[in-house]
Structure formats: C-alpha cells, structure tokens
A and B are shown apart, each in its own frame.
Chain A
Amino acid sequence: MRVVDVKEVTRNIKEMCIEANHFLTADMKEALNTAACQEKSPLGRQILNQLQDNLKIAGDDMIPICQDTGMAVIFLEVGQEVHFEGGPLEEAIQEGVRQGYGEGFLRKSVVKDPVYRDNTKDNTPAVIYYEIKAGSDVVITVAPKGFGSENMSRIFMLKPADGIEGIKNAIITAVKDAGPNACPPMVIGVGIGGTFEKCALMAKKALTRPVNKRSPIPYVKELEEQMLHKINQSGIGPGGLGGTTTALAVNIETYPTHIAGLPVAVNICCHVNRHAVRKI
C-alpha cells in the first residue's frame, strides 16, 4: 500500500489550475502554428497570428490565455493500492481549485445554483471524476472548460440503423451550429456508445488526448481524419470569419453499447483547449 497525503493533491491541483490557464500543451501549440502557416484566408491568417501572439503574452506576462478561465473539470485516476491520509480527498481537491483560482488571478465563473446564480467567488466546486485503476499511481488531469464552446456541445441518441452516416451527420451538425460562437479553430471531442452519460463523459475526456494522437482503432482513426477534413471544408474558419481552419482535431472515443442504442456526444472546445496532467 502507498500512502499519499491529500496536501500533495491540493498543491498539485493549485499549480495545475494556474499552469493550464497560462500555457497550452506542446501538441496544441504545434497545431496552432501549423494552422497559421496553412490557412488560406488572409483574415484567417491574421487571426491565427493574433492567437500565437496571445499565447506568448499569456506566458510571458502571466495573463490568462482567455478571460474565461473555465469551470475546473478534474479527472483523478487512483491506483487501488493507494491510501489517502490527511483529510477527505474531495475537500483537498476543491481546496486546490480554490487556491489556484485565487492565487493565480483566475476568473471566478461558478454560480452556486443554476437558477438563482450567486457566484461562489472561489470557482469551486470543480466537477470531479474518479477512476480506480490497478497499481499505486495517482494521475491528475485538470481541464478548465470555458462555456462559449461548452454551450455549443450536443448529445444525440441515435438509432442503430443511423449507423456511421448518422454519426457523421451528428458531428457536422454540432460543429456547424456552433460556428463562430465556439471560438474556432475548435477541437472536437466525440463519444460514441455507452449510455447517455457515458458517451458525454467520453467526449469530454477525448479533449484531453493530444491533438496529434489518433485513435488506435483503425475505423475510428479513419473517421477522425475524415471528419476533420470535412469540418475544414465548411468555410467557418478562424473566428468564424471564413477560412480553411475550422477545427484542429477530432478526437473520438468509443465504448460498447446496448442493442437498442447509438449514443453520440459532441463536446466542442475552443482553440484554448486546456489541460494539465501530472502523475504523483
């Protein structure tokens, strides 16, 4: 058995909230760089260059990449040999978010009640997902999610007869409806299969996969590439102002499902596709 003090969890989550909001991962930076070189629209290129400048300023001056520093989504993979001590794990996670958003000068965007909407003033609570794994590692992913793109995300409970064509239509429909609202170039996370909530969760988690890493399943890899090509033919472009770069990647995850169903979730992310991952 491995003992982990929850203070370690708090400290890491605090640092990761700040890190994710000021620095994109190397794969995202590279994808934006490539897009700026390949974009055909002059205005599109100008916007992509501004996004590069924005990333540089964010890192150099420690100004969040986007003012919407998101609701913190946290994935915690916990090895079953791990024992946490020092207090409740969930409180330690929320404390990390509280400290990160406070000390990092990040925006507090969370309201206590969806109807009455009083701001909690510390960006808690985070949305937390736990997974129990074999072994004794603890892997934390902090993915602050902005709501410009979250609001454009969709779930489709398709029929098995809709098949792969139905899936393609669902993805294209979601992207076209999102258009300029979701701050393109977007990253598209897709979940196919499972149940209603499982496919939504897969779509969310798909956004944390590097944008240059394709699915290991051959037909899914092909679908990812085909969808990216098709999305980039939509003309939406950077900022929705026309161009050949509408998405940087389509990441698809699949899971077995019921004989009667074909759930498809499309979680749209803007070009500020943020996440920090650490193993403690």
Chain B
Amino acid sequence: MNKYIHVPLSAEDARSLCAGDYVYLNGTIYTARDAAHKRMYERLKEGEKLPISMDHNIIYYMGPSPARKGRVIGSAGPTTASRMDKYAPALLDLGLKGMIGKGKRSSAVKDAIVRNGAVYFAAVGGAGALLSKSILSSEVIAYDDLGTEAIRRLEVKDFPVIVVIDSTGKDLYETAILQYQEET
C-alpha cells in the first residue's frame, strides 16, 4: 500500500505503518552512520546531551558522496543498518521513531522498535543517484570533522522507502522471501 507520511513521525503515524507498506516521506530527517553513532553513544554514556533530539525523529543511515557545484548533495543511498545495531536501542529509548537503512536488524533492535512503537524502513540499496533527487536540502549540523559521516539535517520530498519492521515487530525480510522460495 502506498502512503504519504510527514516526518518527524508522530506516534499515530508510526503505529499505522505495516511491514510491506511503500511510503513516501516528506519533511525533516537526520543522517548518521557508524562514526556519528559511536560518538553519540559515548556522549550518552558520559551523561552528555546529544547534538540532535531523538524525539519523534528519523535517522537515515547514510554518508553521501560530495555534492557537485550548485547541487544539494551527491549520491545518497542507504548503508547497512546492522552496524548500528549496537547503538540503536539506546536511541530508540530516547524517542527515536524511525530508522532508514538496508539489511537485517538484531533481535535487540526489534525489541526496542516494538517497545517504543517505532519503525525500520529500507531504502533501495545502490540507488543513491535516484534517492538524491528526493532531497531538497542538506546541512551539516554536528560532528563536521567526520566528513561524510557527519550528522546532516535533510529536507526530503516524497522520499521512497519500504516498511521492513513495523511497530508490532513484523519483519518483511523474513516473510517476503517465503513467498518466492522454491527450495527442495
């Protein structure tokens, strides 16, 4: 089912999404990948504040290629989410409502998704040129020294994603392949 959803993601919208829904996101999302997650996690352990609020926000696991002159961003597709599994539950417990990446998540992340009524979306891996066309603006807002791994605020228009793990814990990666499995 195709849905148009405004982000940051309200609790109601998050709960309305089901594994398998094709969703177009509109609004503000943030990027963070390995190095930014490691740093945020360390700051939290030291009792410090994070550079962005997690409240109802969405983190896109993405490190873009550099923008050519006059362009908003370079290629901008998802990276493998499982590398953020160590850090994601703590962020979900702080109010993070959605994550965009690709690939499987750990059971600890799934538990945290269900516990917090959140959603894990997949964007199509390796379609970074196409996905860049749905990004209207990009601004580095923290950890500038991390280069491509800095935290960016993105304004997106009809950014295409698929719900993989919904707030009930249903996992499309597990269910969808059964439909096409022909093994003997």
Contact = CB atoms under 8 A, between A and B. Distances in A.
Binding between chains A and B: yes
A107 B180 contact: no
A139 B127 CA distance: 30
Interface stretch (A77-85, A211-219, A240-248, A249-257): A240-248
Contacts of A208: none
Interface residues of B, number: 46
Contact of A148 (B66, B125, B129, B181): B125
B66 to A, nearest CB: 5
Given A65-B128, A121-B147, A180-B104, A234 B179 contact: no
A163 B74 CA distance: 47
Contacts of A65: 75, 126, 128-129
Interface string A172-213: 000000011101000000000000000000000000000000
Nearest to B62: A67
Interface stretch (B91-99, B109-117, B170-178): B170-178
Interface residues of A, number: 51
Query: SS class of chain A's interface: helix, strand, loop or mixed?
Result: loop
Interface in A261-278: 270-272
A223 interface: no
Nearest to B123: A239
Contact of A54 (B20, B103, B128): B128
Interface stretch (B10-18, B51-59, B77-85, B151-159): B77-85
Contacts of A46: 22
A66 B128 contact: yes
B183 A234 contact: yes
Contacts of A125: none
A201 B38 CA distance: 32
Given A64-B128, A64-B129, A67-B63, A148 B102 contact: yes
A35 interface: no
27 contacts: A43-B22, A44-B180, A47-B124, A50-B127, A54-B126, A54-B128, A57-B133, A58-B129, A65-B126, A65-B129, A67-B64, A67-B74, A67-B76, A107-B65, A107-B66, A107-B74, A117-B35, A151-B80, A180-B122, A180-B125, A239-B102, A239-B125, A240-B177, A242-B175, A242-B177, A243-B180, A272-B126
Interface of A: 40-41, 43-44, 46-47, 50-51, 53-55, 57-58, 61-69, 105-109, 117, 119, 121, 146, 148, 151, 179-181, 183, 233-237, 239-244, 270-272
